[in-house]
Amino acid sequence: MDCRVVLAQVEPTLGNVSANLEVHLREIRAAIEAKADIIVFPELSLTGYFLRDQTSEVALALDSGALQEIADFSGRISIAVGFAERGRDGRVYNAMAWYEDGELLELHRKVHLVHYGMFDEARDFAPGERFRAFESKHGRFGLLICEDMWHVGSSWVHFLSNVDALFVASAGPARGVTEDETGLRSMHVWNKIHDTLALLYQTWIVYVNRVGSEDGILFGGGSRVVDPHGRETVAIAGFDPGRVTAHLDSDVLRRARVSTPLRRDEKPWIIARELTRLASGGQPQ
Amino acid sequence: MNRLDIQPQLVEDILVRFLRAEAGKFGFTKALLGLSGGVDSAVSCALAARAFGPKNVLAVMMPYKTSNPDSEGDARQVVTALGVESRKVDISKTVDGYFDTVDVADKIRRGNVMARARMIVLYDLSVEWRGLVIGTSNKTEILLGYSTQFGDAASALNPLGDLYKHQVYQLARHLKLPSSVVDKAPSADLFQGQTDEAELGFTYAEADKLLELMVDQRYSPEDLLAEGFDESFVTKVARRIALNQYKRLPPVIAKLSERTVNHDFRYLRSWGH
Instruction: Report the pLDDT value the prediction gives residue B272, as an integer from 0 to 100.
Output: 77
CA distance A18 to A27: 14
Q: How many structural domains are present in chain A?
A: 1
CA distance A74 to A98: 9
Residues of B in contact with A184 (CB under 8 A): 10
Contact indicator for A212, A20 with CB cutoff of 8 Å: no
DSSP code, position B132: E
Contact indicator for A210, A42 with CB cutoff of 8 Å: yes
Instruction: Report the pLDDT value the prediction gives residue B87, as an integer from 0 to 100.
Output: 98
Instruction: Report the pLDDT value the prediction gives residue B2, as an integer from 0 to 100.
Output: 87
Instruction: Report the pLDDT value the prediction gives residue A248, as an integer from 0 to 100.
Output: 97
Instruction: Report the pLDDT value the prediction gives residue A281, as an integer from 0 to 100.
Output: 78
CA distance B102 to A155: 69
Indicate the average pLDDT of chain B: 95
Task: Give pLDDT tens digits for A199-222.
Answer: 999 999 999 999 999 999 999 999
Closest by Cβ to A50, choosing from B17, B18, B268: B268
Minimum mean pLDDT range among A72-76, A281-285, B72-76: A281-285
> Which amino acid makes up residue A10?
V
> What is the count of residue pairs from A and B with beta carbons less than 8 Å apart?
60
Is residue A285 over pLDDT 60? no
B22 and A180 within 8 Å at the Cβ level: the answer is: no
Domain contains A129 = yes
Residues of B in contact with A14 (CB under 8 A): 268, 270-273
Task: Give pLDDT tens digits for B179-231.
Answer: 999 998 898 887 778 888 988 899 999 999 999 999 999 999 999 999 999 99
Contact indicator for A94, A109 with CB cutoff of 8 Å: yes
Instruction: Report the pLDDT value the prediction gives residue A282, as an integer from 0 to 100.
Output: 64
Mean pLDDT of B226-238: 96
Domain contains A142 = yes
Instruction: Report the pLDDT value the prediction gives residue B202, as an integer from 0 to 100.
Output: 93
**What ipTM score was computed for the predicted complex, to two decimals?**
0.92
Indicate the average pLDDT of chain A: 96
**First CA to last CA across chain B, in angstroms?**
42
Supply the DSSP string of chain A, one letter for each residue: -EEEEEEEE--PPTT-HHHHHHHHHHHHHHHHHTT-SEEE--TTTTT-S--GGGHHHH-B-TT-HHHHHHHHHTTTSEEEEEEEEE-TTS-EEEEEEEEETTEEEEEEE-SS---STT--HHHH-BPP-----EEETTEEEEEEEGGGGGSHHHHHHHHHTT-SEEEEEE-PBP---BTTSSS-HHHHHHHHHHHHHHHHHT-EEEEEE--SEETTEEB----EEE-TTS-EEEE--SSS-EEEEEEEEHHHHHHHHHHS-HHHH--HHHHHHHHHHHHTTPPP-
CA distance A154 to A131: 7
A54 and B17 within 8 Å at the Cβ level: the answer is: no
A15 and B10 within 8 Å at the Cβ level: the answer is: no
pLDDT band at A180 (very low <50, low <70, confident <90, very high): confident
Task: Give pLDDT tens digits for A115-149.
Answer: 999 999 999 999 999 999 999 999 999 999 999 99
Q: Which CATH architecture has domain B8-248?
A: 3-Layer(aba) Sandwich (3.40)
A177 and B271 within 8 Å at the Cβ level: the answer is: no
Contact indicator for A234, A244 with CB cutoff of 8 Å: yes
Domain ranges across chain B: 8-248
Is residue A273 over pLDDT 70? yes
Domain contains A261 = no
A245 shares contact with chain B (CB less than 8 Å): no
Supply the DSSP string of A114-145, one letter for each residue: --STT--HHHH-BPP-----EEETTEEEEEEE
A239 shares contact with chain B (CB less than 8 Å): yes
A237 shares contact with chain B (CB less than 8 Å): no
pLDDT above 90 covers a percentage of chain A that reads 93
**Alpha-carbon distance A13 to nearest alpha carbon in chain B (angstroms):** 7
Q: For an interface test with A, which of B2, B6, B7, B260 has the most A Cβ atoms less than 10 Å from its Cβ?
A: B7
What angle separates helix B107-129 from helix B92-101, to the nearest 10 degrees? Answer: 130
pLDDT band at A284 (very low <50, low <70, confident <90, very high): low
A217 shares contact with chain B (CB less than 8 Å): no
Q: For an interface test with B, which of A13, A179, A211 has the most B Cβ atoms less than 10 Å from its Cβ?
A: A179
Domain contains A250 = yes
Domain extent at residue A141: 2-254
A216 and B268 within 8 Å at the Cβ level: the answer is: no
pLDDT band at A181 (very low <50, low <70, confident <90, very high): confident
Is residue A1 over pLDDT 90? no
Contact indicator for B122, B33 with CB cutoff of 8 Å: yes
Mean pLDDT of A54-66: 97
Instruction: Report the pLDDT value the prediction gives residue B194, as an integer from 0 to 100.
Output: 84
**Residue B171: CB partners within 8 Å, gap ≥ 6?**
B6, B8, B11, B12, B43, B163
A239 and B6 within 8 Å at the Cβ level: the answer is: no
**Alpha-carbon distance A166 to nearest alpha carbon in chain B (angstroms):** 30
B270 and A14 within 8 Å at the Cβ level: the answer is: yes
B270 and A177 within 8 Å at the Cβ level: the answer is: no
Residues of A in contact with B11 (CB under 8 A): 177
pLDDT above 90 covers a percentage of chain B that reads 91
B218 shares contact with chain A (CB less than 8 Å): no
Domain contains A248 = yes
Domain contains A283 = no
Domain contains A271 = no
Mean pLDDT of B85-112: 97
pLDDT band at B119 (very low <50, low <70, confident <90, very high): very high
CATH of the domain at A77: 3.60.110.10
Minimum mean pLDDT range among A40-44, A179-183, B18-22, B215-219: A179-183
Where do runs of H (alpha helix) occur along chain B?
8-24, 39-52, 69-82, 92-101, 107-129, 139-144, 165-174, 179-183, 196-200, 204-211, 221-226, 231-243
From the list A46, A49, A41, A47, the residue with the least C-alpha distance to A8 is: A41
CA distance A163 to A143: 10
